[in-house]
Chain A
């Protein structure tokens, strides 16, 4: 078998095999890098804030969808407009760094008639000066979070309740509130005194994974191994045929 492998014909085939293996390994690496760069590009795009209404793409203007699209959970968004003084809710029993207090949620009506709920932050109690609703145009940058799914039957007491959900806020404010709420990170112009911004509760949903490129990378590498197997098997068959020519007759 070794003798046969050293003949010019088989040395040439070995050269072809080496070239094939190098090519497939490089092609696999190319697909692997493509997988990474697609992911990077998707993640970069997903970390760019988008206008709040764009986070609900499959929606008729003015309509409130039943659910938040899963890819919008954790999405950075920008809410522009004015806080509506008639749309503020105090979410009780919320602590920050171990200190008891409340969350302040205020509605920002959108041009199409729907309302975006903004979790402005935490205050030690509802009567704190920071709970005053800022007037004038604001631009809020924050992260979109899904409705809190617990205590669905909890009572509403005036402007106070214990859980944030768009359905509950819609009942409290008598307005079509978009699903979920925006956790405020920054607002312009700055408000003082203001509630202390709170951390987001639900992390960013990941971007779609480029499965096709990922598999192609592995398939190229499998090809490389396949080439080696074919070469060896072929050599083995040919060597056997030369040693026992009588058996090779069909």
Chain B
């Protein structure tokens, strides 16, 4: 289990970064659609598009850290997939990160 705490830290960082970017983009999307006429592509500012592009690439990194962690902890296929998919659902990566954290602590795999 050498390297697990570092792998968890990497996963944790990506869960938060990906989660924050996806959450901001989602909130922006909802506000834009409801109040700012974003149905019309010309109304959307460039930063809005960049946020979605950023999420796409950040999710790639999230996948790598997530799979690396799942291999190290030897999570089941189903559990691994849940962790990975959490990076595409708004706010879900925060819960996935918390669940993994709790699980690793319970199994005493993290230094206290």
Contacts and interface: CB of A to CB of B under 8 A. Distances in A.
Interface stretch (A106-114, A133-141, A151-159, A212-220): A212-220
Contacts, number: 28
Interface string B42-66: 0000000100110011011001000
Interface string A185-220: 000000000000000000000000001100110010
Contact of B57 (A215, A226, A230, A233): A215
Interface of A is mostly: helix
A222 B60 contact: yes
A250 interface: yes
A212 B71 contact: no
B53 A212 contact: yes
Nearest to A222: B60
B67 interface: yes
B77 interface: yes
A237 interface: yes
Interface residues of B, number: 13
Nearest to A216: B56
Contacts of B52: 212
A13 interface: yes
A250 B56 CA distance: 35
A219 B71 contact: no
A13 B57 contact: no
Interface in A5-23: 13
Interface in A32-87: none
B71 A233 contact: yes
B60 A13 contact: no
Interface of B: 1, 49, 52-53, 56-57, 59-60, 63, 67, 71, 74, 77
Given A219-B56, A230-B67, A234-B71, 20 more contacts: A13-B77, A211-B49, A211-B53, A212-B49, A212-B52, A212-B53, A212-B56, A215-B53, A215-B56, A215-B57, A216-B56, A219-B57, A219-B59, A226-B63, A226-B67, A233-B67, A234-B77, A237-B71, A250-B1, A250-B74
